[in-house]
Amino acid sequence: MLDSEETNNSTREIESSRRGPIYRARRVLIVGCGETGAALATRLSDSGNIIKVLDLDPASFELLPPRRIETTRIVPVVGDGTREGDLRRASAHEVDVMIATTGTSPINILASQIGLHIIRVPKVLCLIEEEPIMEIYRSLGIHVISRLHLTVSTLFEETMS
Amino acid sequence: MYVVILGAGRIGVRLARWMLDSGSEVTLIELNRRRLEIVKQSLGEVAIQGDGCSSLVLGEAGLSRADIFVATTGADDVNLLTCQVAKHHYGVEKTISIVYLPEHEDLFKMLGVDMTINITNLAIECLETGMADLFAEEV
């Protein structure tokens, strides 16, 4: 009879699900420390992730919370997100996720492709301002998020609900 | 042959003139209205105003029937993006691009740009060749 075995197995499953999923801090590189990049860095570090932020302009780091920089939970790096060397200086080769959030879509796309195809970051997210130019980004393996699309979708849903 | 050129700067305009002289059909895409005016005066109605990264503008330029697309803007990111769209969405057979940062050239080729003109390396090669004589004379 298999009854007792089945009972044991299902008990084990319930116990492990009670412990909850194991959460691992992610190492994240954010390219572009504008309003979006800085806000994202802050929120991600609130959840215990380790963040590096890359920007050409050191003044942009003023948007980051000073405490987090002091404790090195957020590490600002000055550099150009379209240059492989600078991305590596910002630990791109060691991160779990790279997110391109400069205010310029073509730059985000170039940085993302370097991250994806040359440095081989496991997950690359690319913010673009407008609607994506067709399906090509998905076919090129870049996960593109359109600010315009998100905004319009949210407003649409709110309007229609 | 139908050629679409992105950028009516020094390179784009000279290229357009050469293509027109050799009997090809050309459309230039240019963002800056002042440059556009200059082009109109020297080459006629061969340019349209707009951002080459916009699908609307690329469609307006008739990219779907172009044989060649040449990206001549001063920005590698724009040049690469527009070549990718030209090739992968519009099916343009030949994409050509100016590349400014030598380290980007391999990426351009990897991502399907057919011909890359490495402006920086070209300039350096010319300088080295031109200046080699000067140094030789010093000895």
Categorize the per-residue pLDDT at A12 as very low, low, confident or very high, splitting at 50, 70 and 90.
very low
C-alpha closest to that of B87 among B77, B73, B97: B97
| Whether the Cβ atoms of residue A50 and residue A27 lie closer than 8 Å to each other | yes
What is the residue type of A72? T
Q: A40 CB contacts (<8 Å, ≥6 apart)? A: A30, A99, A101
Chain A residues in contact with B53 (beta carbon < 8 A): 105-106, 133
Q: Which residues pair with A95 in a beta bridge?
A: none
What is the average pLDDT across B4-28?
Answer: 96
Say if residue A126's pLDDT is above 50.
yes
Which of B10, B42, B112, B21 lies closest to A113, judged by CA? B112
Supply the range of the domain harboring residue B84: 2-138
In angstroms, the separation between the Cα of residue A105 and the nearest Cα of chain B is 9
Among A5-14, A60-69, A150-159, the range scoring the smallest mean pLDDT is: A5-14
Give me the pLDDT at residue B25, please. 97
Most confident segment among A16-25, B51-60, B114-123: B114-123
Say how far apart CA B71 and CA B3 lie, in whole Å: 11
Report yes or no: B88 and A136 within 8 Å, Cβ to Cβ: yes
Task: Using CA atoms of A112, A116, A117, A122 in order, give the dihedral in degrees to the nearest 10.
Answer: 170
Distance separating alpha carbons of residues B46 and B52, to the nearest angstrom: 15
Mean pLDDT (whole number) for B92-120: 96
pLDDT value at B138 more than 70: no
How many alpha carbons fall within 13 Å on the CB side of residue A84?
15
* Contact between chains at B76 and A136 (C-beta distance less than 8 A): no
pLDDT digits over A127-138, tens only?
A: 998 876 656 676
Percent of chain A with pLDDT over 70: 82
Q: Does B84 sit within 8 Å of A136, measured CB to CB? A: yes
pLDDT value at A52 more than 60:
yes
pLDDT at residue A57 tops 50: yes
The amino acid sitting at B2 is: Y
pLDDT in tens, A24-48: 899 999 999 999 999 999 999 999 9
In the block, residue with structure tokens 């073509």:
A106
pLDDT at A21: 61
pLDDT tens-digit profile of B21-46?
999 999 999 999 999 999 999 999 99
CA B133/CA A93 separation, integer angstroms:
44
The CATH number linked to B114 is 3.40.50.720
Q: Which value does ipTM take for this structure?
A: 0.90
Helix (H) or strand (E) holding A36: helix A35-46
Percent with pLDDT over 90 in chain A: 74
Kindly determine whether residue A106 and residue B104, on different chains, have CB atoms separated by under 8 Å: no
Which residues of chain A make contact with B75, given a CB cutoff of 8 A? Answer: 106
Tell me if the domain spanning A24-160 has CATH number 2.40.30.10: no
β-partners of residue B95 are B69
Which one of B77, B78, B89 has the shortest CB-CB distance to A136?
B89
Residues of A whose CB is below 8 A from B77:
82, 104, 106-107, 109-110
pLDDT at B81 over 90: yes
Which residues of chain B does A80 touch, with a Cβ-Cβ cutoff of 8 Å?
Answer: none
Reduced 3-state DSSP string for B2-35: EEEEECCCHHHHHHHHHHHHCCCEEEEEECCHHH
Residue A134's pLDDT is 54
The B-side interface with A (CB below 8 A) comprises: 53-55, 75-78, 80-81, 84-85, 88-89, 101, 103-104, 107, 110-111
The whole-angstrom separation of Cα A128 and Cα A87 is 19
Average pLDDT of chain A?
87
Whether the per-residue pLDDT at A5 is higher than 80: the answer is no
For chain B, how many structural domains are there in total?
1
Query: From CA B45, how far away is CA A82, in angstroms rounded?
Result: 36
